[in-house]
Structure formats: C-alpha cells, structure tokens
Structure 1
Amino acid sequence: METNHNNHKVLIVDGMALLFRAFYATSYTGYIRKTSAGVPTNAIYGFIQYLFDAVHTFEPTHVVCCWDLGGTTIRAELYDSYKANRKAPPEELIPQFELVKEVVAEMGILNIGLQGYEADDCIGTLATAISKEAHVYILTGDHDMLQLISERIHVVIMKKGKLNYLTYDLQMLWDEKQLQPYQIIELKSFMGDTSDNYPGVKGIGEKIALKLLLEYQSVEGVLENLDKLPKSVRTKIEANLDMLHLSRDLATIRVDLPITCGLDECIWNIRKELATKKFEELEFGGLVKLLEDKIEDPFLVI
C-alpha cells in the first residue's frame, strides 16, 4: 500500500454514539428486531448500516472502532455527579453492547477501549497519534469532539436522517462558531454541560461564555481580566472558581492514553466469509445481501 500519508484516510468510529443512534432510530415504533431465539439485534443491524453508509461516503483506507467499557471513569472519580443524571440504557439495548463488538471484530475491524476512560479519550488519543501520518475522520454525534479538530483531524457529526453528515474542519468550526478547537473546552468550563451533568460557573450560559471567549480567548485570559468584567459576571466567576477549573478538566478529552493503533492494524478490509457467517447467525439477511452487492465496490471491500 502507498506509504504517502496523504493517501491514508482513517475513520475512527464512536461506537456507542452509533449504537445508541441506531437503537432509537429503529425502536421508536415499538417494534424491536430480534433473532428467532429472542436476542434483540435492532441496534447492531442499524449500526452496521450506518457504518457502511459512512465508509461509502468518506471512502477511508482504514477503520477503527472505539468503545466505552462501563465501570467508573476518571471523570466520575473527579466529580461524583458526573453523568449521574443519565438514565439506565433501555433493557433491549444492554445485550447488544457486547454482541456488537463481536460482530465488528468478525468483520475484521479493530475494537479499542480502556477501562477507567471514556471512548472520547480513546478517540482523542488515537486521532492525535494517527494524524501524524494520515488524515483522520471521527464519526460521532458528540459535539465535545470538536475540540480535537486540527489540520488533519476532521469531526463528522451525524445529523438526523440517513447519510446526513456535518463535517467540521478548522474553517467550518470558525465559520459556524467563531471558535478555535481548544475553545470548545473553555466554553464548557464556563457554561458546564447539562448532558454530562456538571455546572461550570453557575449563572453563566452560552451567550456570556462566548462573549468572554471572544474578548479574552481562554479561562486564563478571563481570570487575568476579572477587574474589567461587569460586576455580576465577575462575582459569579469568583464564587465558582473551583467548579470552573473542575469543569475544564471534565471537558478535556485526554490524548495521552496508553493505547496504540498502527495503520497496519486497522486497514479497511472486510473479512467477507466471517462477516457473512456472523450476519447469518444473527439473521441479518438484508445485510448479507448488502455485503454481496458491495463486494465489487472498492471503497467497501479492499
């Protein structure tokens, strides 16, 4: 294979984001696809369709999939209430968490996760390392990932509906939000994150946070200029300094985990026979046909 990194395009898949999206997209009617033995498979079926769609759209030469492994994470240790507002996953989704990884592995795609950390941190670490030798596309629904954007890291946000993507690069992020990637972290330091359940600075929302960053660029820049701020804003920041710093830590995706993935480990090359066998076992007739149809497509099977 060509060694020039400009010809390499690595798709890093946020596994949980795809799986949850697939579950809700296929279960809202109340019907949940199951095997004849009663194992729910709707999320896995949808996951594979989303994956194939993305591969077809972005034409990667390499694909890797990152997962949350469950259990306590560093962020929950830093802050007890981190994600404490999250509801338990739907009952029919739970057996699909492990099964989807089996399916992905059988297809010949590398699964990566690290106990104690979130998939975001695995994605951040791999994207940062791999971007030194290839272009990286992160497939997710999570806007937190925008902090990872660089010259060679793009973030693909899945929007509602099939084949509906918003691909962020440095220019797109600037045009849409007037922010540099690192400022995604600074923004959340001030305004917190309701879905992850940490408050930032109580009383400061997105509007004020964006105004502060436009004027002073970063948390440090704001803190160095507290005396120039309106009294109400200054008082809020001074009263919540610890939470400001903690929120910043919680918002920061780690890029230095002890995990690696060489390009030779994640070449996109579907193991057709094993994938077919697994699809048949899960009664995914339509996907077996999809494999057959796509086998002639150079971007789906190398």
Structure 2
Amino acid sequence: MSESSSGSVLLVDGMALLFRGYYATSYRGYIMRTSAGVPTNAVYGFVKYLWDAIETFKPSHVVCCWDMGKATFRTEKYLSYKANRSEAPEELIPQFELVKEVTASFNIPNVGLVGYEADDCIGTLASVYSPFTKVQVLTGDHDMLQLVNENTEVIIMKKGQSNYMVYTLDTLYTEKSLTPQQIIDLKGLTGDTADNYPGVKGIGEKTAVKLLLEYESIEGILENLESLPKGVRAKLEAELDMLHLCRDLARIRLDVPIACALEECLWMMERDKVVSKFEELEFKGLMKLLE
C-alpha cells in the first residue's frame, strides 16, 4: 500500500513490547537496575523495540496503548478468561508505571481505559484514524489480524531485532486463506489457549479453517449443520453457547470511550526531554540511539 500523503499512525501494543523486553533480558537471571536498585530491564527493551519500529516504518504519528489491570468486560462475561496467566514477575511490576513515563518523555500519548484491554483501545483508534490515514498496528499478538483493512496493516514482531511480518489484506489471505472477520470466527471455533477460552471442544484449527472456507462464517456453518459430517455437527450442537461466547471474547471492540486526536500524537521527539529521562534511568547504552 503506498504511503498516503498524510503519513501514517503507528499504534503500539505497549504490553507486548514491555513483556518482550522483560523476557528477552531476564532469562539469564540478570535484571538490569539503576544504582538506586530500581529494575529497568523491561523498559530498556521496550525502548529498543519501539525505536527500531519507528526507524523501520517511519510513522508521522505514534500512540501507545496499555492494559489497565486484569479485570475487563471479558472477565465479567467469562470468569476463566486469562485466568491461566501467572502473576507478573516482581521485578516487572514497578516498570509498568516507569515505561509510561518514558513513553511520555518521547511525547507519545499513553492510552488505556479500565475495563478494556489495550487491543480494544488499538481497535477503536484504528477505526477512527483509518478513514483518513494509513494505520499500522505494532504487536506480537495474532488476534490483532482481525483489524486489517484497506488502510490498516498489522505488524507482527517476530523473534529477534528488526524482524517483522507485515499483514495487509493480501498477505493475510495468502498466508491464512482467511479474511479479518474470519479470524474472529476462527477463534470462536478453536478458542485460544493463551487467553484461556475453549472454543468448541474437539474442533481444531484445520477443521475450523475448512468450515470457514466452505461456509464463510459461523452463521453460514450453523445454517448448514445438516450437511456437516455427523461428528463435527454433534460437537457444534453440544457447544453452541460456548461458541458464541468465545467469538464474543475474541472480538476486539471498536467503540471504547477514548479519544486521542491526530494532532496530539504527532511524532516529534524533544531530544533534551528524552536524554534527561535516560540519564535518570542510567540508560547509557541507549543514548547513542538519539544521536
């Protein structure tokens, strides 16, 4: 997709970068800290990933979205949602606020709303911005592929620095044979072990994709139950409520009551502001990024 004259907005999944930064640097058991003992390894990694993406994709605008605690409308609908996640490591907890201070030092707005996930904030902002400008979503989360449209790309961070898979409508279809809408239906059918919801027991990805290719949507599949193999039909009939619930959990909301005007997220770094934050956190190794 060619760059539109008005530039592009990079919507950053802050948690994805922060957790990645934490685990990329802590697996050897060493946690970087300031001389006052404040752990900073996740924030350090976050900055490296963020900077690399900005250098690679050269957005004109940047926004960072965050989860605001575990309880969301999804946990209200389904108590076990994400209940399999272990508590955040102790050294990561103080870095949740610290990373937002660092983001703010770059003049990047931090957006999040209690009761919703970062995904929902990203989805909402993407739907607001995409009619006017190109949107790129930076994440590690394949659930976000449902947001792809003519003017929205999803950039999946892969292992290692500067390793990205950029999904457009074409690449999504080439790789997965599915439309963005079908990504939601796929999750309804198969569930999501990472988010701890089951989908339809006994229906794996292969069967689900085959059904969606043939019948297009969950509605299409259910209208054609008679034509399905007996086993598949029995599994679906036994789990209809769960199927609809799981699809609802998978669907990223596009109507979160948040706002961030484009002019508020213009990418304009004030070097002195960032330098003073880096000095406070003793990020000597990152100073060279700013030169």
Aligned pair 1:243/2:257, yes or no? no
Tell whether the 8 Å contact from 1:110 to 1:266 is kept in structure 2 after alignment: yes
2:154 partner amino acid = V
Cα distance in 1 for partners of 2:289, 2:257 equals: 37
Consecutive unaligned residues in structure 1, runs of 5 or more: 294-302
- What is the Cα deviation at residue 288 of structure 1? 2.2
Once the two structures are superposed, what CA deviation does each residue of 1:116-157 show, in whole Å capped at 9, x if it has no partner? 000000000001111011100100000000000000000000
- Show the counterpart of 1:187: 186
Paired amino acid for 2:249: L
Distance 1:22 1:259 in 2: 27
Question: What does residue 52 of structure 2 align with?
Answer: 53
Return the offset for 1:71. Answer: 3.9
3-state SS in 2 of match to 1:30: coil
Map 1:52-201 onto structure 2 (within 5 A). Answer: 52-201=51-200
Segments of 4+ moved more than 4 angstroms: none
For residues 139-176 of structure 1, the C-alpha deviation after alignment (integer angstroms, 9 at most, x for no partner) is 00000000000000000000000100000000000000
- How far is the alpha carbon of 1:5 from its aligned partner? 5.4
Residues 195-239 of structure 1, C-alpha deviations (whole Å, 9 max, x = no match): 100111111010110010010000000000000000110000000
TM-aligned CA deviation for residue 8 of structure 1: 1.7
- How has the CA–CA distance of structure 1 residues 242 and 210 changed in structure 2, closer, same or farther, with 3 Å as cutoff? same
Aligned residue in 2 for 1:222: 221
User: What's the CA shift for 1:274?
Assistant: 1.4
Range 212-221 or range 254-263, more displaced: 254-263
Query: Is the 1:33–1:42 Cα contact (8 Å) retained in structure 2?
Result: yes
What amino acid is aligned across from residue 260 of structure 1 in structure 2? A
Aligned residue in 1 for 2:30: 31
* 1:139 aligned counterpart, secondary structure: strand
2:269 and 2:49 mapped to 1: Cα distance?
Answer: 15
Matched residue, 1:40: 39
CA shift, 1:105, in A, is 0.8
Q: Tell me by how many angstroms 1:31 deviates.
A: 1.1
Residue number in structure 2 paired with 1:234: 233
Report the secondary structure of 1:93's partner residue: coil
Q: Which residue of 1 aligns with 2:204?
A: 205
Aligned to 2:263: 264
CA contact (8 A) 1:13 1:66 kept: yes
Displacement of 1:54 in angstroms is: 0.3
In structure 2, runs of 5+ residues without a counterpart are none
RMSD over aligned Cα, in angstroms?
1.0
Check conservation: 1:5, 1:133, Cα contact below 8 A.
Answer: no
Residues of 2 paired with 1:107 and 1:72: CA distance?
29
Distance 2:198 2:95 in 1: 32
How far off its partner does 1:282 sit?
0.4
Supply the distance in 2 between the matched residues of 1:135 and 1:261 (Cα, whole angstroms).
Answer: 16
TM-score by length of 2: 0.98
Letter in 2 for 1:34: R
Counterparts of 1:290-301 in structure 2, within 5 Å, are 290-291=289-290, 293=291
The AA in structure 2 aligned to 1:147 is Q
Q: Output the CA distance in 2 between the equivalents of 1:8 and 1:131.
A: 11
3-state SS of the aligned residue for 2:241? helix
Contact 1:6–1:135, Cα closer than 8 Å, also in 2 = no
Deviations 1:179-208 (A, max 9, x none): 000000000110000010011111101011
Measure, in 1, the Cα distance between the counterparts of 2:34 and 2:199.
45
Tell me, in whole angstroms, the C-alpha distance in 1 between the residues paired with 2:243 and 2:118: 24
SS at the partner of 2:96?
helix
Aligned length: 289
SS at match of 2:154: strand
State the partner residue of 1:299: none
